[in-house]
Chain A
Amino acid sequence: MIMIRSIVRPDKVDDVLAALMEAGFPSVTKISVVGRGKQRGIKIGEITYDEIPKELLLTVVQDQDRDYVIKTVIKAARTGVKGAYGDGKIFVTPVLEVYTISSGIRETSSGEIEEVKI
């Protein structure tokens, strides 16, 4: 399994969430973050803004869905056709195990599914 962390513009979050729902990946966690990118923030006149507000979206998907989800996010989060600086980044991390608290079902990266007794 794989976790996709996408940092997107706050005004594009609704589009991305709708696109993910439409693509069949409803589970998302959203966290507000601030940050800067390669352009070292935005400089307007004398002032540099280097804590730009963004939204961080966490989605965990199966390995084979990875490219599809990434494409969905890119398509929804890009501004215009070519995109612009500040549209965000997507990071992909491996997930070793996933537990569902309500049922205790454990899924491992190798695809085994079992119920954990507590």
Chain B
Amino acid sequence: MKEVMAIVRMNMMNKTKKALLEAGVSSMTAREALGRGKGLVDYSLLEGAEKGYEEAIAQLGHSQRLIPKRVVFVVVPDKLMDATVKAIMKVNRTGKSGDGKIFVFPVLDSISVRTAESGEAVLDEV
């Protein structure tokens, strides 16, 4: 079992939901989040701060705002993981920075609250 956590653009949510359904993943959790990525770093500023210029240090951490994003969580059986990741990547790619990241975590067990079933029986079938 794997947990796929994808951070995507707000306006791509509908496409992502559709793509997940087509990939055979029906269950998902989504949340609003704020964030920033490595694309926004001003390396000249960082370098200046490392050298100890006060002007550069004063600007650190305040120059960039956090960008609103959506986080999608899906737990899938091992076999479906590749298809899920590819489906998310395909619809979310515009080629510009800010498209998002996908993280894959191991999951020890999943249990259905209603039926108390556990293991892969709770997840989407391949």
Contacts and interface: CB of A to CB of B under 8 A. Distances in A.
Interface of A: 3, 14, 17-22, 24, 26-31, 58, 60, 93-104, 116, 118
Interface in B12-57: 31-38, 40-41, 46, 49, 57
B105 A104 contact: no
B34 A104 contact: no
Contacts of B49: 22
B120 to A, nearest CB: 17
Contacts of B97: 102
Contacts of B8: 101
Contacts of A95: 103-105
Contact of B61 (A18, A93, A96): A18
Main secondary structure of the interface of B (DSSP, over half): mixed
Given A18-B60, A18-B61, A30-B34, A99 B105 contact: no
Interface residues of B, number: 44
Contact of B98 (A58, A102, A104): A102
A25 B44 CA distance: 15
